Amino acid sequence: MKCPILALLLTLLQMSRPGVSQPIITQDPGSVTGTEEGEVTVPCSVTGAPPGPVRWYRDTGSGRQYLYSTSPPPPNERNDPRVSQVHQNHETDLSIRIVNLNLRDSGMYYCEKYGGIDVTLIARGSGSRLSVQEKFRPPVIEGPQGRVLAGNAVALTCRSNGPPGTKFTWKKNNRTVPGEQSNTSSLQTAKEDIRSTVTCETTDPRTQQTLSSEPYSLGASITVKPDVSIEANPERVKVNESVSLTCRARGFYPERVSVSWVQQGGAVELAAERGENAENEDGTFSRNSVLNVTVTQELSGATVSCRVQIEGLAEPVQKEHTLVVIDPKPDQGSGPGSDLVIPVAVAGVVVLIVLLLAVGLYCRFRTGKKKAEIMRTPVSSTETHDKELTYASLDLQKKANRRSMMIAESEVCAYAEIKGAKVRGAKVRGAKASDDLTYASLDEANLKRKTKEPGGGGRGGEPPGKETEYASVNFRKN
Query: What does the pLDDT read at residue 105?
Result: 95
Least confident of 9-18, 64-73, 128-137, 367-376: 9-18
Write the CA distances from 34 to 132, 138, 231, 312, 352, integer angstroms.
Answer: 5, 19, 70, 47, 110
Query: What does the pLDDT read at residue 167?
Result: 94
* Per-residue pLDDT reduced to its tens digit, 418-477: 344 343 443 444 444 444 444 444 444 344 444 444 444 444 444 444 444 444 444 444
d(CA 306, CA 228) in angstroms, rounded, equals 8
pLDDT tier for residue 191 given thresholds of 50, 70 and 90: very high
Say yes or no to pLDDT of 271 above 60: yes
Which range is most confident: 22-36, 103-117, 139-153, 324-338? Answer: 139-153
Write the CA distances from 87 to 93, 95, 287, 471, integer angstroms.
Answer: 7, 7, 72, 153
Mean pLDDT across 388-397: 43
d(CA 229, CA 320) in angstroms, rounded, equals 9
d(CA 28, CA 44) in angstroms, rounded, equals 7
Q: CB under 8 Å to 324, separation ≥6 — which residues?
A: 232, 235, 236, 237, 301
Query: What does the pLDDT read at residue 396?
Result: 43
Q: For residue 116, is it left (φ>0), alpha (ψ between -120 and 50) or beta?
A: left
3-state secondary structure (DSSP) of residue 85: strand
Query: What does the pLDDT read at residue 274?
Result: 78
Query: What does the pLDDT read at residue 456?
Result: 45
The more confidently predicted of residues 446 and 138 is: 138
Query: What does the pLDDT read at residue 213?
Result: 96
d(CA 169, CA 199) in angstroms, rounded, equals 8
DSSP string of 373-405, one letter each residue: HHHHS---TT----S--S------S-GGG---E
Burial label for 199, CB within 10 Å (0-12, 13-18, 19+), is buried
Query: What does the pLDDT read at residue 342?
Result: 58
d(CA 9, CA 87) in angstroms, rounded, equals 31
- The percentage of the chain sitting over the pLDDT mark of 70, rounded to a whole number, equals 67
Query: What does the pLDDT read at residue 374?
Result: 44
The more confidently predicted of residues 212 and 274 is: 212
Reported residue count of the chain is 478
Write the CA distances from 258 to 120, 249, 252, 308, integer angstroms.
Answer: 77, 10, 11, 6
Residue 190: CA count within 13 A, CB half-sphere:
4
